[in-house]
Structures are given as structure tokens and as C-alpha cells.
Amino acid sequence: MQVDPKETCIVVRDEMQNGGFPEAQTILYNSKKLQEDLHVLGMKIKHHEDNIKFLKSHKNKLDDSILDLQVTLGKYHSSTLPNNENNAHSSNQSEDETMEQILKYEKSAAGILCRLKTNHGTQISHPSFTNDVLGVVATLGKVDDDNLGRLFSEYLGVETMLAIVLLLLGRNWMVDFLYFCLENLRPYCGEFVVDDPQRRLDLLKPKLPNGECPPGFIGFAVNMINVEFTNLFFLTGSGYGLRETLFYNLFSRLQVYKTRKDMVLAIPCISDGAISLDGGMMKGTGIFSLGNRNNVDVRFPILSVTSTLPDNYIDTEKQLKEIKWKREKMLEDIKREQALLDAAKQSFERKKEEFVNFLAQSSAYASQMQAGFTPR
């Protein structure tokens, strides 16, 4: 049924002028309200359509950037991989030793995981056991020398060094051992050191009451862990890396000093513990361990010069990871806008049907008024 809203409104308006019927006033008000609602919904539809167009345009640009970076990294691997084969043994020595230390704890979850990897390589025969596993704490970072490795392992303890690091906590991991789920850890949310390939945290240096940095302060333990380049650009679903999740939760703002004397003098500005290169250790406020301790045999591997890559490669890999993360977020935004667009279109169709029905009823009323109206 075709109804002309203008004609209906003219008839209703004439009736109001002649008789001032309340029904006519109601019809005009409802007609205007429905038209305004349709206009608002139409603007919403256009808004979401424009947003989707904009997001898809940016996604296409990200796709092009990802392809270009993958080509660049592919060229690097093809030109350098043969030359690095001779260095494989020297760069993996310390990692092999750490693996051997873990395997001594054969009944631990870390020992079982490492044994599976040793026996089956990367093709583990139990994918459900390892799908969400990033690794063992002791294998996810490296240190500059053996002394730091010993100190950090003693500070964390063997149980923590053998803890399993999970990306997500699934039903397969509801078992009795220590683990860290990265998605559930509260991350560091501050800034990073500018232009640092290792993405070290930009933590404020400690200061004594006189405003000066304590003598003998070397740095923060969380920034002395070197993350392997294969894990350096790993990001959680929320966009956080290993340093600002796992290692920040393990070490927080643990300070490192040259000597025990330096550490004791710096007590006024130590909040999250401290260690010294000559064996001093302070956990929390006022808890000291200055004597001899039992060494923890599971330690972080020592960083090898040959295990590092040029800064330009690291920067490219980092950029690729970040762009891929942005693309995933962009796809989520597109999906969300599409859902809003579909909902707006459905609302528009329902409102349109309501308006058509209203016009039909108004037209019938106007016809009745014209037929039954007798001029004075």
C-alpha cells in the first residue's frame, strides 16, 4: 500500500485548523518523531559504514607493510644462515648446560617438558601438553656472566627457576606444579628505554634522602636479563612482552649493587629488595642474607656474543611483531563496527516498517475525517 506522508500530513493539518482535533495533533507529533528516529538511524548507519571503510583501508596498508618486512627478514636469513652454522655449538653451550641442569629434576614438570623436547625435538608427540607453553623460566632469559646467573637463581629459588611459563591457562594445566600464566600477570605499564633493542624498562633510579643516586648502584635486575631474540618480540593478547610480564613479576624493582656495603648504605631507597655482586641479598625491607648460601644449580644461560643479531634485524623483527599485533586489533575493530552496523540496519528496518504502518493508519483516519466533516 503506497501512502504519501505529505498528503496525509496536509489533510491532518487542515483538520486541526478547522476543528483542532486532539487526534490530529497526536498524529503530527508521532509522524515527526518517527521521521527524526529514521534520520538518526540513517546517520548511524553511515557513521559505521565510514568507520569500516577507514579501518579496512588501514588494514590493507598494514598488510603491505607486513609483506615488505617479511621479505626483508627472508633476505637476511638467506644471506646469513650458512655463515652462522659454524657458531651454533659455541652459542648453544650454555643453553645445553641449563637444559642438563633441568633434566636432573626428572620428576618435575620442567624436567618432563625438557625431556620431551630432547627426545622429540620440536615435534612433540603430546601437543595438548605443550600448546600453551612458552618454556621454563630458566630458559627464557640470559645473563652477562656466571656470577649474575648464580645470584639471580639464588634470589628466585630452584622452584621458581623450574616453573613453567604458560601463555594461557587451559584445562590441560590444572595440575600440581608452579607455573606462571602471562595473560594473568599484572604487567609493567610504564615507559621503555628509548631506542633499546632489548626493550628495557625505563625505571627511575633510586635516590638517597640527599637526592643523589646511591654509590655502587649498577641497575635493576629486570633489565639485566637478556631476552632471546626469538622471544623478545613475543606479545600477549594484551600487547605485553616477556620483560614487562614474567620478569617484572619475578624481580619487580630489585636493585643490584657492587658490594654488600653499598647495598646496606642504600637501604633508605630500597623498596623491593636488592642483591650485591659479592653475595649480599636483601628480600623486601629488612630481610637480609649476607652469609654463605646453598647454590641453586639451575641457572640462566650466559649470553653469547654470537647469539645476538644486528640491531637492524632486531628492529625489523620488533616492527613486524608490532604491526601484526596492530593488524589483529584492527580486525577486532572491523568486526565490532560490522556488528554495530548490522544492528543499526535492523533497527532502521523495524523503524521504517513502523513508520509505514503509522502512515497507513493516519491516511485511513484522514480519509474518514474528510468524508465525515461538514463545514459550518
Structural domains of the chain, ranges and CATH numbers in brackets: 105-296 (3.30.70.1620)
The whole-number average pLDDT for the span 324-348 is: 91
What are the beta bridge partners of residue 201? 192
pLDDT-above-70 percentage for the chain: 74
Residue 185 pLDDT more than 70?
A: yes
Q: What is the pLDDT of residue 78?
A: 44
What pTM did the predictor assign?
Answer: 0.58
Residue 298, all three cell numbers = 639451575
Q: What is the pLDDT of residue 85?
A: 41
Q: Where are the beta strands (DSSP E) in the chain?
A: 133-136, 164-166, 179-181, 217-220, 255-257, 274-276, 281-282, 288-289
pLDDT in tens, 339-369: 999 999 998 888 888 888 877 877 776 676 6
Establish how many alpha carbons lie within 13 A of residue 92's alpha carbon, considering only the half-sphere containing its beta carbon: 9
The whole-number average pLDDT for the span 65-81 is: 62
pLDDT in tens, 194-242: 878 888 999 988 888 887 888 889 889 999 999 987 788 788 888 899 9
What are the beta bridge partners of residue 181? 166
Query: What residues contact 212, with CB distance under 8 A and at least 6 apart?
Result: none
pLDDT in tens, 92-148: 447 888 889 999 998 888 888 888 877 755 444 454 555 678 889 999 999 988 889
Compute the 3-state secondary structure of the chain and give helix, strand, coil in percent, each to the nearest 5. Answer: 60, 10, 30
Residue 184 pLDDT more than 80?
A: yes
Q: What is the pLDDT of residue 2?
A: 43
Q: What is the pLDDT of residue 361?
A: 77
